[in-house]
């Protein structure tokens, strides 16, 4: 081979490598059962300086929702861009059902005994798989909760994984964390949130590949058991908080520290200006979500307190600092957003329901759309949001209508005051149910 040809090949290789590096790295920071209101900039009783700083430097979507606010379906939607009910997953995966060998699980108090799948099928395409195709290296850390080991992240597009278990929660946030061998050799003084953060920091500082990375850090915290980091609990007890609530506050602050350490690692590595950070939660808090109504439990999970989550994106050079976006969005929008960022082209996947948020991140608009919700645990089971209006349906036939713009706490049910709006939303929701809710294979 001639020297000139060799030089051309080297130059082309360098150009390709540089182009790959110019694509932004992506960090998906997912909290578990973390309420929309539990951030310092909304409630100063919570000490979250790093989350507050991220918000002040990026764009906050104040009306971000989870279509099926519960652990497993929320994660499945985030990964695939699909409404969870279309994945046959209206509920979380019970750890006790995993070893049964059955396709579906059932909930004793579910009025219609709807089946819910026990894993995310491998044929579903995740954002990790699409990013891999677009030249990314994908690392997963933390809580998965989408099936047994044969359905783990490394079989869903991730190049490596750490801290993954089959269950949905740890035994404790101090040792022993889990029943299996995950982190078994970690010091008993170490806190689980910090262990995962250590792994994330090590990954960032040690990353040497000539391609951008996606780091999905899905914390177990602040999900129960509510065990706060010992040095942080007193900070909340000093406010008069007691018991599990004080523990929860300490868990939130430890998670906030995790975000700060990760951002410091990006600075130390010199890649902070070429890394996107997306911060969100899989559903609302177990505790009060005031001023929002409802939460993780209590039969009102599709109310704002259960379905609305914190959602902040920091994209240097694209997002304007301290921007607020009030457009209703859902976490299904993460998939197409990442694909558009990584490819430089709109995501035209007709199999997903999410849309790219990039126009909103740039200060533009997206077309008006309906957001749909569905879960199958109790009487309350489905809802629709259209602009400022929200309609909630119950198996028993009850319907509730709220103007979320004027009544964020869902105090005034306007179902009889606004019959035309109620009828239009009810019909749209019924049409969606007919199209989206699958006819299940009822064999257990």
pLDDT of 414 strictly over 60: yes
Mean pLDDT, all residues of the chain: 93
Instruction: Give residue 303's pLDDT.
Output: 97
Q: What are phi and psi of 389, to 5 degrees?
A: -105, 145
Instruction: Give residue 395's pLDDT.
Output: 97
What is the rounded CA–CA span in Å between residue 200 and residue 164? 14
pLDDT tier at 164, thresholds 50, 70, 90 = very high
Domains, the chain, with CATH or none: 25-369 (3.40.720.10)
pLDDT (mean) for 356-363: 96
Tokens of 359: 């126009």
pLDDT tier at 286, thresholds 50, 70, 90 = very high
Percent of the chain at pLDDT > 90 equals 89
When comparing pLDDT for 7 and 315, which is higher?
315
The answer for residues whose C-beta is within 8 angstroms of residue 136's C-beta and 6 or more apart is 23, 26, 211, 212, 213, 214, 342
- Enter the DSSP assignment of 84: G
Instruction: Give residue 340's pLDDT.
Output: 97
What is the rounded CA–CA span in Å between residue 71 and residue 260? 25
Decide if 315 contacts 276 (C-beta within 8 A).
yes
Per-residue pLDDT tens over the stretch 19-59: 445 899 999 999 999 999 999 999 999 999 999 999 999 99
pLDDT tier at 12, thresholds 50, 70, 90 = very low
pLDDT of 1 strictly over 60: no
pLDDT of 308 strictly over 70: yes
Instruction: Give residue 95's pLDDT.
Output: 80
What is the rounded CA–CA span in Å between residue 369 and residue 395? 25
Instruction: Give residue 6's pLDDT.
Output: 43
Instruction: Give residue 22's pLDDT.
Output: 83
pLDDT of 133 strictly over 60: yes
pLDDT of 103 strictly over 50: yes
Instruction: Give residue 3's pLDDT.
Output: 54
Identify the three-state secondary structure at position 335: helix
Instruction: Give residue 359's pLDDT.
Output: 96
pLDDT of 8 strictly over 50: no
Per-residue pLDDT tens over the stretch 227-281: 999 999 999 999 999 999 999 999 999 999 999 999 999 999 999 999 999 999 9
Q: Is 363 left (phi over 0), alpha (psi -120 to 50) or beta?
A: left
Instruction: Give residue 342's pLDDT.
Output: 97
pLDDT of 350 strictly over 50: yes
What is the rounded CA–CA span in Å between residue 275 and residue 196? 19
Instruction: Give residue 69's pLDDT.
Output: 97
Buried b (16+ CB within 10 A) or exposed e, 82-101: bbbbbbbbbbbbbeeebeee
pLDDT of 208 strictly over 80: yes
Q: What is the pTM of this model?
A: 0.93
What is the rounded CA–CA span in Å between residue 15 and residue 145? 40
pLDDT tier at 441, thresholds 50, 70, 90 = low
pLDDT (mean) for 105-123: 95
Instruction: Give residue 99's pLDDT.
Output: 77
């Amino acid at each position: 081979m001639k020297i000139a040809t060799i030089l051309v090949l080297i130059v082309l290789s360098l150009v390709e490598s540089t182009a790959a590096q110019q694509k932004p790295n992506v960090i998906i920071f997912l909290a578990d059962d973390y309420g929309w209101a539990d951030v310092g900039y909304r409630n100063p009783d919570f000490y979250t300086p790093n989350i507050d700083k991220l918000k002040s430097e990026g764009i906050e979507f104040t009306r971000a929702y989870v279509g099926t606010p519960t652990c497993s379906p929320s994660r499945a939607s985030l990964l695939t861009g699909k409404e969870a009910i279309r994945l046959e997953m209206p509920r979380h995966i019970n750890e006790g059902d995993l070893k049964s060998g059955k396709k579906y699980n059932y909930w004793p108090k579910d009025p219609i005994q709807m089946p819910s799948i026990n894993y995310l099928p491998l044929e579903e395409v995740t954002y990790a798989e699409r990013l891999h195709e677009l030249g990314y290296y994908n690392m997963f850390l933390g809580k998965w909760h989408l099936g047994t080991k044969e359905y783990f992240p490394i079989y869903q597009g991730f190049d490596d994984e750490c801290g993954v278990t089959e269950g949905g929660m740890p035994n404790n946030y101090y040792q022993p964390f889990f029943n299996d061998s995950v982190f078994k050799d970690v010091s008993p003084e170490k806190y689980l949130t910090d262990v995962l953060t250590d792994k994330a920091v090590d990954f960032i500082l040690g990353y040497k590949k000539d391609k951008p990375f996606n780091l999905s850090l899905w914390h177990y915290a602040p999900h129960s058991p509510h065990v706060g980091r010992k040095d942080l609990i007193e900070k909340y007890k000093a406010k008069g908080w007691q018991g599990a609530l004080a523990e929860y506050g300490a868990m939130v602050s430890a998670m906030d520290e995790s975000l700060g350490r990760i951002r410091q690692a990006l600075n130390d590595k010199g890649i902070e200006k070429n890394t996107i950070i997306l911060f969100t939660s899989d559903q609302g808090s177990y505790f009060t979500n005031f001023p929002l109504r409802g939460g993780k439990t209590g039969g009102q999970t599709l109310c704002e307190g259960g379905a609305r989550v914190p959602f902040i994106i920091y994209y240097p050079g694209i997002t304007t600092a301290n921007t607020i976006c009030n457009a209703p969005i859902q976490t299904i929008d993460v998939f197409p957003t990442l694909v558009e960022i990584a490819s430089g082209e709109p995501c035209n996947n007709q199999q997903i329901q999410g849309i790219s948020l990039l126009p909103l991140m740039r200060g533009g608009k997206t077309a008006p759309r309906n957001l749909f919700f569905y879960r199958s645990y109790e009487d309350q089971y489905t809802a629709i949001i259209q602009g400022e209006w929200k309609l909630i349906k119950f198996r028993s036939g009850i319907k509730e209508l709220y103007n979320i713009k004027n009544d964020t706490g869902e105090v005034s049910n306007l179902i009889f005051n606004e019959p035309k709006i109620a009828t239009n939303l009810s019909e749209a929701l019924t049409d969606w149910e007919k199209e989206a809710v699958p006819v299940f294979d009822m064999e257990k």
